[in-house]
Amino acid sequence: MKLLHTSDWHLGRSLYGKNRYEEFEAFLSWLAEIIQQNGVDILLVAGDIFDTSTPGNRAQELYYRFLCKISSATCYCQVVIIAGNHDSPSFLNAPKELLRAMNIHVIGSMTESIYDEVIILKKDGQPKAIVCAVPYLRDKDIRTVEPGETIDDKNAKLIEGIKKHYNDVCKVAEDKQLELEKESHAPIPIVAMGHLFTAGSKTVDGDGVRELYVGSLAHVEKDVFPSTIDYLALGHLHIPQSVGGSERIRYSGSPIPIGFGEAAHGKKVIMIEFKNKTPVIIEIQVPCFQQLMRISGDLDDIQTKLQELKDENSQAWIEVEYTGSEIIGNLRETIEETLTGSSIEILRIKTKPVIERTIIGINENETLDDLDANDVFDRCLDTYEISADEREELKVSYDEIIKSLQEEDTNAE
């Protein structure tokens, strides 16, 4: 039984106004070929299939066309999909009964019965794997609010809620495993899925990875997960990595760079084949479908690097960071003149002159692309000269409001 682990497709995401549908389509076509060429039996998609809770028609078309392709008779593959924090649970769940007829299992949110999160997958009529398909666990699913709680109390309850849920689901899987192994006299591995942030894991600037819980301290340690899990397929972080030195607990990472900060990191999907219950892991490199590059320096440095790319007939998308001390009023026009006649595109220009390094607050070179919601709130606190004593409590309340807005399922009735 071969499994393939992927996550964080973020279908529909754009980059500084540039749509990326050709990249998404190229990735999904490549993924279907990998599944067929390697005889993959099970595809695990560990959340953040779409970039928003209301994906556009083209993103939906890519998703459903891909599922139809890999579940067809010529490329038969069973699929387990869990929702991530970017996904709408109700949107993913809406066609789940129809998709189940194609052996595509979708878990959009924590289910009323934990038994529904335990899926037995078969090959040639025989059970071959038990999948604990745990979706992104929202705060309200695993924690009750009590008056007077501190941020540490909230984080402790969140960790305990996550741990309890995995223990409960895996206990069901363990019981089924014991029962099935008695019948089949063959080892059946337990594979779990999750969409969360583990302690000590790597992120990069500009990857769009949100903190999942208020306070940002609720990063789970690997000992939260039961030892009976033979492989844990995680989503949420975009850099491929193992967790806490354990090869059996892994993030596959995003298949295409979500931002320029990820451009230097190789993208992968993970293939797993079990020898008894021991996972044999093969990392498969994902091709680069659209080159992203960061270029920084003074004007001469930037123009030299761009000319080199132009001479190579590059088609890269570029983020330019101007670090020179001279203020150049027509910087974009000057840079773009260098690229006349090429297929290179400048998506963003950032400037960091000396004056910008010495001031605090918004300046003429800064745009909303440079800020997130927390940055804006911090600027407001600074503007109104809020004291340090009041600031902490206000920020916790603000974080809770932002999280509730991000987790609101706008498709639910």
Q: What is the mean pLDDT of residues 41-57?
A: 96
pLDDT in the model for residue 413: 62
> Does residue 277 register a pLDDT over 80?
yes
Percent of the chain with pLDDT over 70: 88
pLDDT category at 40 given cuts 50, 70, 90 is very high
Q: What is the mean pLDDT of residues 146-167?
A: 86
136 φ/ψ angles, rounded to the nearest 5 degrees? -60, 125
> Does residue 99 register a pLDDT over 80?
yes
Distance in angstroms (rounded) separating the CA atoms of residues 244 and 198: 9
pLDDT category at 359 given cuts 50, 70, 90 is very low
Q: How much is the pTM?
A: 0.85
Token reading at 249: 């607990």
> Does residue 294 register a pLDDT over 70?
yes
Q: What is the mean pLDDT of residues 43-51?
A: 97
Q: How many CB atoms lie within 10 A of CB 347?
A: 15
> Does residue 214 register a pLDDT over 60?
no
Percent of the chain with pLDDT over 90: 61
From 122-126, 167-171, 176-180, 193-197, the region with the lowest mean pLDDT: 122-126
Average pLDDT of the chain is: 87
CB 315 within 8 A of CB 289: no
- pLDDT tens-digit map of 307-333: 999 999 999 999 999 988 887 778 889
Token reading at 71: 């579940």
pLDDT in the model for residue 371: 61
Residue type, 405: L
Token reading at 145: 């609010």
CB 291 within 8 A of CB 320: no
Cα dihedral across residues 376, 381, 385, 391: positive or negative: negative
From 49-63, 124-138, 210-224, 344-358, the region with the lowest mean pLDDT: 210-224
pLDDT in the model for residue 184: 83
pLDDT in the model for residue 284: 98
> When comparing pLDDT for 154 and 89, which is higher?
89
> When comparing pLDDT for 151 and 281, which is higher?
281
> Does residue 216 register a pLDDT over 80?
no
pLDDT in the model for residue 403: 62
CB 220 within 8 A of CB 189: no
Residue 87: exposed, middle, or buried by beta-carbon count in 10 A (0-12, 13-18, 19+)? Answer: buried
Cβ-proximal residues to 252 (8 Å cutoff; 6+ apart), any chain: 5, 6, 7, 8, 46, 233, 234, 235, 240, 268, 269, 270
Distance in angstroms (rounded) separating the CA atoms of residues 125 and 119: 15
Distance in angstroms (rounded) separating the CA atoms of residues 12 and 8: 12
How is 180-211 classified by DSSP, letter by letter?
Answer: HHHHH-S---EEEEEE--BTT----TTS-PPP
Q: Three-state SS for 71?
A: coil
Helix axes 331-338, 299-311, angle to 10 degrees: 30
Helix (H) / strand (E) element for 3: namely strand 2-6
Distance in angstroms (rounded) separating the CA atoms of residues 304 and 158: 51
- pLDDT tens-digit map of 68-82: 999 987 778 999 999
> Does residue 178 register a pLDDT over 90?
yes
pLDDT category at 358 given cuts 50, 70, 90 is very low
Cα dihedral across residues 47, 48, 53, 59: positive or negative: negative
- DSSP conformational letter for 219: P
How long is the chain? Answer: 413
> When comparing pLDDT for 393 and 177, which is higher?
177
> Does residue 305 register a pLDDT over 60?
yes
CB 285 within 8 A of CB 26: no
Distance in angstroms (rounded) separating the CA atoms of residues 25 and 12: 11
Q: Which domains does the chain have, with CATH numbers?
A: 2-285 (3.60.21.10), 292-370 (3.30.160.720), 376-413 (no CATH)
pLDDT in the model for residue 380: 78
pLDDT in the model for residue 388: 74
Cβ-proximal residues to 61 (8 Å cutoff; 6+ apart), any chain: none
Give the bridge partners for 234, in sequence order: 194, 251
Q: What is the mean pLDDT of residues 373-387?
A: 74
> Does residue 283 register a pLDDT over 90?
yes
> Does residue 41 register a pLDDT over 60?
yes
